Structure 1
Amino acid sequence: MNFPSPSHPLSFAGLPIYFQNAVGRLLEHPAGYIVFQYHAGKRALADFQALLTHTGQLLRRRGWQRILADQRLMTPFTEAETAWVTSFWLDPANQPPGGLHAAVMLADDVFARLATNTMRETLQSAALTYRLFKDEATATAWLMQVG
Protein backbone atom coordinates (compact mmCIF):
# COMPACT_ATOMS: atom_id res chain seq x y z
CA MET A 1 0.00 0.00 0.00
CA ASN A 2 1.32 3.45 -0.86
CA PHE A 3 1.03 6.13 1.78
CA PRO A 4 1.13 9.83 1.06
CA SER A 5 4.28 11.71 1.88
CA PRO A 6 3.89 14.91 3.84
CA SER A 7 3.44 18.03 1.75
CA HIS A 8 5.48 19.89 4.36
CA PRO A 9 9.07 18.84 3.74
CA LEU A 10 10.94 18.03 6.92
CA SER A 11 14.57 17.22 7.48
CA PHE A 12 13.68 13.63 8.35
CA ALA A 13 14.10 12.04 4.94
CA GLY A 14 16.00 8.80 5.26
CA LEU A 15 15.09 8.11 8.89
CA PRO A 16 14.00 4.53 9.52
CA ILE A 17 10.24 4.02 9.45
CA TYR A 18 9.16 2.00 12.49
CA PHE A 19 5.47 1.85 11.59
CA GLN A 20 3.15 3.38 9.00
CA ASN A 21 -0.53 3.18 8.18
CA ALA A 22 -3.26 5.35 6.65
CA VAL A 23 -3.20 7.75 9.65
CA GLY A 24 0.52 8.50 9.73
CA ARG A 25 3.98 7.18 10.29
CA LEU A 26 6.53 6.79 13.06
CA LEU A 27 10.19 7.48 12.36
CA GLU A 28 13.13 6.69 14.63
CA HIS A 29 15.40 9.70 15.06
CA PRO A 30 19.02 8.89 16.00
CA ALA A 31 18.93 11.68 18.63
CA GLY A 32 16.60 9.46 20.66
CA TYR A 33 13.05 10.45 19.83
CA ILE A 34 10.08 9.49 17.70
CA VAL A 35 9.00 11.61 14.76
CA PHE A 36 5.23 11.11 14.54
CA GLN A 37 3.86 12.45 11.23
CA TYR A 38 0.13 12.59 10.50
CA HIS A 39 -1.10 12.03 6.96
CA ALA A 40 -3.90 14.25 5.64
CA GLY A 41 -7.50 13.09 5.56
CA LYS A 42 -10.09 11.25 7.60
CA ARG A 43 -8.97 8.53 10.00
CA ALA A 44 -10.44 5.17 10.93
CA LEU A 45 -10.41 4.79 14.72
CA ALA A 46 -8.72 1.36 14.52
CA ASP A 47 -5.87 2.81 12.40
CA PHE A 48 -5.52 5.74 14.80
CA GLN A 49 -5.37 3.38 17.78
CA ALA A 50 -2.80 1.20 16.02
CA LEU A 51 -0.53 4.18 15.36
CA LEU A 52 -0.66 5.32 18.99
CA THR A 53 -0.19 1.77 20.27
CA HIS A 54 2.93 1.42 18.12
CA THR A 55 4.11 4.78 19.47
CA GLY A 56 3.93 3.43 23.02
CA GLN A 57 5.67 0.21 21.99
CA LEU A 58 8.52 2.10 20.34
CA LEU A 59 8.96 4.36 23.39
CA ARG A 60 9.26 1.29 25.64
CA ARG A 61 11.45 -0.65 23.19
CA ARG A 62 13.99 2.16 22.90
CA GLY A 63 13.63 3.57 26.41
CA TRP A 64 12.75 6.96 24.92
CA GLN A 65 10.67 9.75 26.45
CA ARG A 66 10.41 12.22 23.57
CA ILE A 67 8.16 12.66 20.55
CA LEU A 68 8.19 15.27 17.79
CA ALA A 69 4.61 15.24 16.51
CA ASP A 70 4.00 16.79 13.11
CA GLN A 71 0.27 17.59 13.10
CA ARG A 72 0.42 20.06 10.22
CA LEU A 73 -1.64 17.86 7.88
CA MET A 74 -3.92 16.52 10.60
CA THR A 75 -7.68 16.97 10.55
CA PRO A 76 -9.51 17.60 13.86
CA PHE A 77 -9.77 14.77 16.38
CA THR A 78 -13.14 13.07 16.56
CA GLU A 79 -14.83 12.63 19.94
CA ALA A 80 -13.92 8.93 19.91
CA GLU A 81 -10.26 9.74 19.15
CA THR A 82 -10.12 12.35 21.90
CA ALA A 83 -11.57 9.90 24.42
CA TRP A 84 -9.18 7.15 23.35
CA VAL A 85 -6.08 9.39 23.36
CA THR A 86 -6.96 10.66 26.82
CA SER A 87 -7.48 7.18 28.25
CA PHE A 88 -4.42 5.78 26.45
CA TRP A 89 -1.95 8.43 27.62
CA LEU A 90 -3.52 8.73 31.08
CA ASP A 91 -2.97 4.99 31.63
CA PRO A 92 0.26 4.69 33.70
CA ALA A 93 1.11 1.49 31.79
CA ASN A 94 1.58 3.64 28.67
CA GLN A 95 3.81 6.23 30.35
CA PRO A 96 7.57 5.84 30.22
CA PRO A 97 9.37 6.20 33.57
CA GLY A 98 9.93 9.91 34.19
CA GLY A 99 7.06 10.93 31.93
CA LEU A 100 6.90 11.91 28.30
CA HIS A 101 7.87 15.08 26.42
CA ALA A 102 6.05 15.94 23.21
CA ALA A 103 6.91 18.83 20.88
CA VAL A 104 3.91 19.33 18.61
CA MET A 105 3.99 21.24 15.35
CA LEU A 106 0.53 22.74 15.06
CA ALA A 107 -1.95 21.68 12.42
CA ASP A 108 -2.69 23.95 9.48
CA ASP A 109 -6.43 23.35 10.07
CA VAL A 110 -7.76 25.82 12.67
CA PHE A 111 -10.24 23.28 14.07
CA ALA A 112 -7.47 20.69 14.49
CA ARG A 113 -5.42 23.30 16.38
CA LEU A 114 -8.37 23.98 18.70
CA ALA A 115 -8.83 20.25 19.33
CA THR A 116 -5.14 19.89 20.16
CA ASN A 117 -5.26 22.82 22.58
CA THR A 118 -8.32 21.38 24.32
CA MET A 119 -6.72 17.94 24.67
CA ARG A 120 -3.48 19.49 25.92
CA GLU A 121 -5.07 20.57 29.20
CA THR A 122 -6.11 17.00 30.03
CA LEU A 123 -2.83 15.42 28.98
CA GLN A 124 -0.73 17.80 31.08
CA SER A 125 -1.96 15.88 34.13
CA ALA A 126 -0.67 12.59 32.70
CA ALA A 127 3.06 13.13 33.32
CA LEU A 128 3.11 14.37 29.74
CA THR A 129 4.92 17.62 29.07
CA TYR A 130 3.37 18.90 25.86
CA ARG A 131 4.46 22.06 24.02
CA LEU A 132 3.02 23.51 20.81
CA PHE A 133 5.19 25.01 18.06
CA LYS A 134 4.73 26.61 14.66
CA ASP A 135 7.96 25.32 13.13
CA GLU A 136 10.26 22.32 13.17
CA ALA A 137 13.42 24.14 14.24
CA THR A 138 11.90 25.56 17.43
CA ALA A 139 10.13 22.26 18.25
CA THR A 140 13.34 20.26 17.78
CA ALA A 141 15.41 22.72 19.85
CA TRP A 142 12.97 22.45 22.76
CA LEU A 143 12.84 18.67 22.48
CA MET A 144 16.64 18.40 22.62
CA GLN A 145 16.70 20.52 25.81
CA VAL A 146 14.28 18.27 27.69
CA GLY A 147 16.03 14.99 26.99
Structure 2
Amino acid sequence: MMVTSVAIPVGSFKNEAAHLSIHPAGFLHLTWLPGSASGAATRAVFEYILHALHALGYSKVLSDQRQMVPPSNEDTAWYVLDWLPRAAEQGYRYGALVSANHLFARLALHSISQQAMRQSTLVYQHFDREDVAIDWLLAQQ
Protein backbone atom coordinates (compact mmCIF):
# COMPACT_ATOMS: atom_id res chain seq x y z
CA MET A 1 0.00 0.00 0.00
CA MET A 2 1.63 3.25 -1.10
CA VAL A 3 0.72 6.44 0.66
CA THR A 4 1.05 9.36 -1.71
CA SER A 5 0.47 12.24 0.69
CA VAL A 6 0.37 12.41 4.44
CA ALA A 7 -0.43 15.30 6.72
CA ILE A 8 1.64 15.02 9.88
CA PRO A 9 -0.77 15.58 12.75
CA VAL A 10 0.16 17.18 16.04
CA GLY A 11 -0.87 13.92 17.68
CA SER A 12 -0.04 10.53 16.29
CA PHE A 13 -0.76 7.72 13.82
CA LYS A 14 -2.21 4.38 14.92
CA ASN A 15 -3.50 1.26 13.25
CA GLU A 16 -3.77 -2.40 14.27
CA ALA A 17 0.00 -2.88 13.87
CA ALA A 18 1.52 0.06 15.74
CA HIS A 19 1.26 3.49 17.29
CA LEU A 20 3.56 6.25 16.04
CA SER A 21 4.08 9.57 17.81
CA ILE A 22 6.37 12.53 17.49
CA HIS A 23 8.76 12.81 20.43
CA PRO A 24 9.44 16.40 21.54
CA ALA A 25 13.19 15.73 21.45
CA GLY A 26 13.04 15.41 17.67
CA PHE A 27 12.54 11.78 16.71
CA LEU A 28 9.71 9.40 15.85
CA HIS A 29 8.56 7.03 18.60
CA LEU A 30 7.09 3.80 17.28
CA THR A 31 5.38 1.24 19.53
CA TRP A 32 4.43 -2.05 17.94
CA LEU A 33 1.17 -3.50 19.26
CA PRO A 34 0.56 -7.07 20.44
CA GLY A 35 -0.07 -9.93 18.07
CA SER A 36 0.37 -10.44 14.38
CA ALA A 37 -0.45 -7.54 12.14
CA SER A 38 -1.26 -7.93 8.51
CA GLY A 39 1.38 -7.10 5.96
CA ALA A 40 -0.75 -4.19 4.76
CA ALA A 41 -1.00 -2.67 8.25
CA THR A 42 2.70 -3.06 8.88
CA ARG A 43 3.57 -1.52 5.53
CA ALA A 44 1.18 1.37 6.17
CA VAL A 45 3.12 2.15 9.36
CA PHE A 46 6.42 2.15 7.49
CA GLU A 47 5.04 4.32 4.70
CA TYR A 48 3.79 6.81 7.28
CA ILE A 49 7.26 6.80 8.91
CA LEU A 50 8.82 7.51 5.52
CA HIS A 51 6.64 10.55 4.94
CA ALA A 52 7.03 11.77 8.52
CA LEU A 53 10.83 11.58 8.28
CA HIS A 54 10.70 13.69 5.15
CA ALA A 55 8.09 16.18 6.35
CA LEU A 56 9.72 16.73 9.75
CA GLY A 57 13.35 16.47 8.64
CA TYR A 58 14.03 13.80 11.27
CA SER A 59 16.74 11.14 11.02
CA LYS A 60 15.96 9.05 14.13
CA VAL A 61 13.34 6.49 15.12
CA LEU A 62 12.79 4.75 18.44
CA SER A 63 11.09 1.41 17.77
CA ASP A 64 9.61 -0.39 20.77
CA GLN A 65 9.45 -3.97 19.51
CA ARG A 66 8.68 -5.66 22.86
CA GLN A 67 5.26 -6.94 21.75
CA MET A 68 6.19 -7.90 18.20
CA VAL A 69 5.94 -11.36 16.72
CA PRO A 70 8.36 -12.57 14.04
CA PRO A 71 7.75 -10.79 10.73
CA SER A 72 6.87 -12.76 7.62
CA ASN A 73 9.55 -13.43 5.02
CA GLU A 74 7.58 -11.28 2.58
CA ASP A 75 7.48 -8.31 4.98
CA THR A 76 11.18 -8.72 5.75
CA ALA A 77 12.12 -8.70 2.06
CA TRP A 78 9.93 -5.65 1.40
CA TYR A 79 11.50 -3.79 4.33
CA VAL A 80 15.09 -4.49 3.33
CA LEU A 81 14.78 -4.25 -0.46
CA ASP A 82 12.08 -1.60 -0.92
CA TRP A 83 11.43 0.53 2.16
CA LEU A 84 14.92 0.84 3.61
CA PRO A 85 16.54 2.39 0.49
CA ARG A 86 13.70 4.91 0.27
CA ALA A 87 14.02 5.72 3.97
CA ALA A 88 17.76 6.30 3.62
CA GLU A 89 17.00 8.75 0.78
CA GLN A 90 14.67 10.62 3.16
CA GLY A 91 17.43 10.96 5.77
CA TYR A 92 16.74 8.01 8.11
CA ARG A 93 20.06 7.35 9.89
CA TYR A 94 19.55 6.01 13.44
CA GLY A 95 17.22 3.40 14.88
CA ALA A 96 17.08 2.60 18.59
CA LEU A 97 15.34 -0.75 18.95
CA VAL A 98 13.81 -1.93 22.22
CA SER A 99 14.11 -5.69 21.71
CA ALA A 100 11.14 -8.03 21.37
CA ASN A 101 10.14 -10.21 24.32
CA HIS A 102 9.31 -13.13 21.98
CA LEU A 103 12.57 -15.05 21.45
CA PHE A 104 12.04 -15.82 17.76
CA ALA A 105 10.94 -12.25 17.06
CA ARG A 106 14.03 -10.95 18.88
CA LEU A 107 16.31 -13.18 16.79
CA ALA A 108 14.56 -12.36 13.51
CA LEU A 109 14.52 -8.61 14.13
CA HIS A 110 18.18 -8.61 15.16
CA SER A 111 19.05 -10.42 11.94
CA ILE A 112 17.03 -7.92 9.88
CA SER A 113 18.78 -4.97 11.54
CA GLN A 114 22.19 -6.49 10.84
CA GLN A 115 21.28 -7.03 7.19
CA ALA A 116 19.95 -3.47 6.97
CA MET A 117 23.19 -2.02 8.35
CA ARG A 118 25.25 -4.03 5.84
CA GLN A 119 23.16 -2.64 2.96
CA SER A 120 22.85 1.00 4.02
CA THR A 121 24.27 3.81 6.11
CA LEU A 122 21.66 3.19 8.79
CA VAL A 123 22.87 2.49 12.34
CA TYR A 124 20.71 0.32 14.60
CA GLN A 125 21.31 -0.37 18.25
CA HIS A 126 19.34 -2.88 20.35
CA PHE A 127 18.29 -2.24 23.94
CA ASP A 128 16.33 -3.96 26.69
CA ARG A 129 15.18 -0.68 28.25
CA GLU A 130 13.45 2.24 26.54
CA ASP A 131 15.11 4.94 28.67
CA VAL A 132 18.57 3.70 27.68
CA ALA A 133 17.48 3.54 24.03
CA ILE A 134 16.31 7.15 24.18
CA ASP A 135 19.59 8.27 25.75
CA TRP A 136 21.55 6.57 22.96
CA LEU A 137 19.31 8.02 20.26
CA LEU A 138 19.66 11.54 21.62
CA ALA A 139 23.45 11.21 21.65
CA GLN A 140 23.58 10.44 17.90
CA GLN A 141 24.48 13.37 15.68
Q: Aligned partners of 2:71, 2:100: CA distance in 1, in Å?
A: 11
Q: Give yes or no for contact 2:53–2:92 (8 Å, CA) kept in 1.
A: no
Name the TM-score, length of structure 2 as normaliser: 0.87
Does residue 1:122 correspond to 2:115, yes or no? yes
| Structure-2 change in CA distance of 1:79 and 1:139 (3 Å) | same
Identity of aligned pairs, percent? 29
Aligned-pair CA distance for 1:96 = 4.7
Q: Which runs of 4+ in 1 moved over 3 A?
A: 96-99
Alignment of structure 1 residues 26-105 onto 2, 5 Å: 26-91=20-85, 93-96=86-89, 99-105=92-98
Structure 2 letter corresponding to 1:106: S
Q: Which digits, 9 at most, give the CA deviation of each residue in 1:47-102, with x for residues without a partner?
A: 111000001110101000000100000011110111111123442x3225654100
- Cα RMSD for the two superposed structures: 1.4
SS of residue in 1 equivalent to 2:20: strand
Name the TM-score, length of structure 1 as normaliser: 0.83
Q: Give yes or no for contact 1:88–1:94 (8 Å, CA) kept in 2.
A: no
Aligned-pair CA distance for 1:18 = 2.5
> Which sections of structure 2, spanning at least 5 residues, go unmatched?
1-9
* Number of equivalences: 131
| Structure-2 change in CA distance of 1:97 and 1:19 (3 Å) | closer
